Amino acid sequence: MLVTGKEILQDAHKKGYAVGAFNVNNMEIVQAIIQAAEETNSPVILQASQGGLKYAGVEYIAAMAKVAAEKAKVPVAIHLDHGTDFTQIVKCIRNGFTSVMIDGSKHPFEENIAVTKKVVEIAHAAGVSVEAELGKIGGTEDDITVDEKDATFTDPDEAEKFVKETGVDYLAIAIGTAHGPYKGEPKLDFDRLKTIKERLNMPLVLHGSSGVPEESIKKAVSLGINKINIDTDIRLAFNGAVRDFVKNNPDVYDPRKILGPAREAMKEVIKGKMTIFGSVDRA
């Protein structure tokens, strides 16, 4: 069933587990995520980046995600990942998204507050939940590039002020994760996470979660992370399965035969994540 992001994440916040937010770019990915959620009885968030919407078309992504959500027995939210453009955000809301992220993290603090506040006002009027970002997450995403070394972690004082002034429903924080694969092992600032959770007492979001060791993810969940963004690990599963299949079956040219095993491989990776996040049997 289609629900808001807030509905899913308030329950996760109250009960102390996390829900996977998985990036979708085509039909096979949508199906892999929904099948994983149904098989594990997990609530789930389907999210599309601006790049994903550009690739597939917002109407196509919205239509596929809506069909998936409405057919599913588990709660499903449809979310815009890293929205930076007001018009694009409104377009997503008009197309039935139940959650949007306004990523004003590239702006100075006061300006981030201002752009976020504007989105909260229109999204809440439409019954849509809002995620914002404070601090800078490492790596590259769409049009935001932050050198990993320059990534600045979320300040707890600023976070408190930011939430009070903007009224966001959940907050993405920077505690040492980065988008894309990691070169070494990421070191997360758990003390900072603990402090922010105590001060804010609201759902918190971890970006760049692909490649983070299982134990670190579990610890982050125990300290208050409730939404965990995964894209890269899905891409790697897709890529590995397609390459394997094509290599072992050079004469097969039916897209269904090539993409079918990839869909299965993505589903298995996603089920594994849901188990680690603690969302299994929370639907």
99 part of the interface to ligand 13P, by CB under 6 A: no
229 part of the interface to Na ion, by CB under 5 A: no
Question: Which one of 81, 155, 169, 233 is the catalytic residue?
Answer: 81
What H or E segment, with its residue span, contains residue 247? helix 232-248
Please, which residue, 136 or 197, has the CB nearer to Zn ion? Answer: 136
Please, which residue, 207 or 271, has the CB nearer to ligand G3H? Answer: 207
Number of other residues whose CB lies within 10 A of the CB of residue 276 = 18
State which of residues 42, 229, 237, 241 lies at the interface with ligand 13P (CB under 6 A).
229
CB 189 within 8 A of CB 153: yes
Please choose, out of 62-70, 72-80, 201-209, 218-226, the segment that lies near ligand 13P by the rule CB under 6 A. 201-209
For residue 99, say whether it is annotated as part of any ligand binding site: no
Q: What is the smallest separation between the CB atom of 51 and ligand G3H, expressed in angstroms?
A: 3
CA 268 to chain CA centroid, nearest Å: 18
For residue 210, say whether it is annotated as part of any ligand binding site: yes
Q: How far apart are CA 17 and CA 283, in angstroms?
A: 12
155 in catalytic set: no
Q: Which SS3 state, helix, strand or coil, does residue 97 take?
A: coil
Window 191-220: residues binding Na ion (CB under 5 A): 208, 210-211
Please choose, out of 10-18, 143-151, 156-164, 205-213, the segment that lies near ligand 13P by the rule CB under 6 A. 205-213
CB 244 within 8 A of CB 35: no
For residue 191, say whether it is annotated as part of any ligand binding site: no
Q: How far apart are CA 257 and CA 196, in angstroms?
A: 47
State which of residues 13, 66, 207, 263 lies at the interface with Zn ion (CB under 5 A).
207
Query: DSSP characters for 147-185?
Result: -GGG--PPPHHHHHHHHHHH--SEEEE-SS-BSS--SS-
Q: Where in the sequence numbering do the catalytic residues fall?
A: 81
Binding residue numbers for Zn(2+)? 82, 103, 133, 179, 207
